[in-house]
Amino acid sequence: MRRPLCLQRTCTALLPAGVCLIAAAAFLFRPPLNAQRHPVVWSDQEKPIVQQLRHLRELPDAERSSTAKQLAIQIRGLPVAANKELLAGQLANLATEGDLGHGTLQEVATTLAEALREQPVKGSQGEPPELYVTLAQLVRYEHVQASLDDSQFADAMAKLEADDQQRQHADFTLADLEGKLWTLKSLTGKVVLVNFWATWCPPCRKEMPDLETIFGRFKERGLVILAISDEDASKVKPFIGERKFSYPILLDPVRKVNELFRVFGIPKSFLYDRNGKLVAQAIDMRTQTQFLKMLGHAGLE
């Protein structure tokens, strides 16, 4: 991935560690790490799209969905240029926060696939380019379709499969804010939602009340939420104390578990059923309705 950001792909590829997308809008339009590094010059056609992307997250959900769909179509209409790929990638990174609807995500994926088809990106260091990984995540985790006959896209899909295999077999032991140790594999028989978050991450903060709600609703039926932050306890404790969230908050200050789960952008959530099988995951902020849908895959409804 990607560096720790605050949206799952909305806050994934483009910011330095510890920087939140919403708090550093200037970073939002940096080229991907594998792209050319000279300054971006926006055309007159592109400038209105750039401005709408900058403010997309500020819109109400319904308006955000329709605007994202419209932007996907506008970007497809741009002439072939490096900026077209950049804009398509930025839109894809923004479109997975919350629930914009399958139709909107399909338009976004179609736009990114077309941009990559028109102007393939070269990879480096044996890793598929970030834009291909972004498209692969849309296909694998948001269940949209993308037609792209490119070995780098195939490599990106294979990478996600390998990452999921690692997550399936992952185990860890971390302490919560009270010093209690939690071990993932010891929770067989429970439904376990592993959530990666940080205090500086607005989408993380936005989904936390919904996590608290579903925890209160399902904890007596075996739901365990393990919310993992890579920050120091001195930052996390007052944040949680003020908001009074009751689900376990675990600390991973050296990021061993973040690395184990291949988490380089947040929030991200992984759901294990009572047999320890990874049955669902979220690559970005989820709404309560989306969390409930995830829990249904583990038999909690």
Q: What's the whole-number mean pLDDT along residues 233-259? A: 97
Instruction: Please report the pLDDT score of residue 31 as a whole number.
Output: 40
| pTM for the full predicted model | 0.85
Beta bridge partners of 197: 229
Average pLDDT over residues 190-200: 98
- 106-112 average pLDDT score: 98
Q: Return d(Cα 259, Cα 253) in angstroms, integer.
A: 11
Instruction: Select from 277, 274, 255 the least CA-distant residue to 266.
Output: 255
Q: Is 128 helix (H, G, I), strand (E, B) or coil?
A: coil
Mean pLDDT, the chain, integer: 89
% of the chain residues with pLDDT over 90: 82
- pLDDT at res. 37: 54
Mean pLDDT of 63-82: 95
Average pLDDT over residues 241-262: 97
pLDDT in tens, 166-179: 999 999 999 999 99
Instruction: Answer whether 227's CB lies under 8 Å from 165's CB.
Output: no
Mean pLDDT of 50-61: 94
- Give residue 89's identity as a one-letter amino acid code: G
Q: Which of 118-122, 184-188, 243-247 has the lowest mean pLDDT?
A: 118-122
CA angle, 199 as apex, 194 and 201 as ends, to 5°? 85
Task: Give the per-residue pLDDT at 5.
Answer: 37
Of 122-131, 201-210, 276-285, the range with the lowest mean pLDDT is 122-131
Contacts of 156 (CB under 8 A, 6+ apart): 128, 132, 133, 135, 136
Cα 137 to Cα 9: distance, rounded to the nearest angstrom: 9
The answer to whether residue 280 scores a pLDDT higher than 50 is: yes
Task: Say how many C-beta atoms besides its own lie within 10 A of residue 274's C-beta.
Answer: 16
The span from the CA of 225 to the CA of 130, in Å, is 30
Beta strands in 152-222 (DSSP E): 173-175, 181-183, 191-197
Q: pLDDT digit string (tens) for 1-52?
A: 333 334 334 444 333 333 343 333 333 433 443 444 568 899 999 999 999 9
For the chain, percent of residues with pLDDT exceeding 70 = 87
Strands (DSSP E) found in 135-294: 173-175, 181-183, 191-197, 223-229, 249-251, 268-272, 278-282
Please state which of the ranges 18-32, 73-87, 150-164, 236-250 shows the lowest mean pLDDT.
18-32
Give the tokens for residue 298. Answer: 């583990």
| pLDDT tens column, 118-162 | 999 987 777 899 999 999 999 999 999 999 999 999 999 999 999
**Closest by alpha carbon to 121, among 81, 157, 94?**
81
The single residue listed with the structure tokens 């692969």 is: 136
Count of positions (residues) in the chain? 301
